[in-house]
Amino acid sequence: MTAEAPPVPVLRVQDLIKEYGEGDAKVRALRGINLDVEKGDYVAIMGASGSGKSTLMNILGCLDVPTSGTYLIDGADAGRLDEHQLAILRNRRVGFVFQSFNLIPRMSALANVELPLVYGGIGQAERRARALAALEQVGLADRVHHEPNQLSGGQQQRVAVARALVTAPALLLADEPTGNLDTASTKDVLQIMDRLSESGRTIVLITHENDVAAHAKRVIRLVDGEVVEDRRQAPAGGVPPRMAVR
Ligand code: ADP
Ligand code: MG
């Protein structure tokens, strides 16, 4: 038997600690998180308000740095990168979806989706083609010239998903992506996430709703900055779990 090198996980988090403040006011938001996420996994991070979900998401997305511990994304050690290198990593390897959509007003859906490619230095023709393809993927080919205020909440979030995807990131990070949506739009957005997962995307989704977490292949539960549960499940989107064990 030839020994194959194990694949590099998309995310590797080791002994991650995050503290805010000093002395008596010190808050230990993350108390030693260990976590690997393999390529193609679909992970829901759950936990009560204040359990550290957003703190973890911000570190995973290179928006914040830990107090101690290591964090590797796609094999790159985020702790050893300077601000400029981190910004590039964030732009190329991570796609973000936020609860509040965070689209730029008075800019068309197309221009919003092109934006990460502008920062990435991609030429106009390619930008246009990739943004159109991403909008088509989320079912908005007929809304590309609409501005955010001319779109429903669900459509705005689909634009945000297209914007997150357009750079072909290694990881899609979503913090309560359906938190501001009605039932029908929630279903649309989750269906898109499920399809992306089926096509091999790596997704980490933060949610406090069981119905949303049910779509993931793996559920991680945080209590007071610690992982108290990490389990695999058959995703509700109907995708058979190809790998039931880690
Ligand atoms: P969640 O997203 O699960 O609600 P957070 O990650 O936002 O939890 O917060 C975890 C803990 O860290 C909470 O006790 C919160 O009050 C604290 N916290 C978060 N951000 C800051 C900050 N910038 N300064 C001080 N404390 C913070
Ligand atoms: Mg939060």
pLDDT digit string, tens, across residues 67-116: 999 999 988 999 999 989 988 888 889 999 999 999 999 999 999 999 99
pLDDT digit string, tens, across residues 111-146: 999 999 998 889 999 999 999 999 999 999 999 999
- pTM > 0.85: yes
2-11, 19-28, 46-55, 221-230: which has the minimum mean pLDDT? Answer: 2-11
Name all residues whose Cβ lies below 6 A of ligand 1.
20-21, 27, 29, 47, 49-55
- Three-class secondary structure assignment of 96-116: EEECCCCCCCCCCHHHHHHHH
Nearest CA to ligand 1 atom 12: 29
237 vs 25 pLDDT, higher one: 25
Tokens for 51, please give them.
């359990």
**Cβ neighbour number for residue 240 with a 10 Å cutoff:** 7
Decide: helix, strand or coil at residue 137.
Answer: helix
Measured distance CA(145)–CA(148) in Å, rounded: 10
Nearest CA to ligand 1 atom 17: 29
51-55, 94-98, 236-240: which has the minimum mean pLDDT? Answer: 236-240
Tokens for 11, please give them.
């995310």
Q: What is the pLDDT of residue 1?
A: 56
- Number of the ligand 1 atom closest to the C-alpha atom of 175: 2
Q: Which of 146, 73, 159, 156 is nearest to 116 (CA)?
A: 159
Mean pLDDT of 240-245: 48
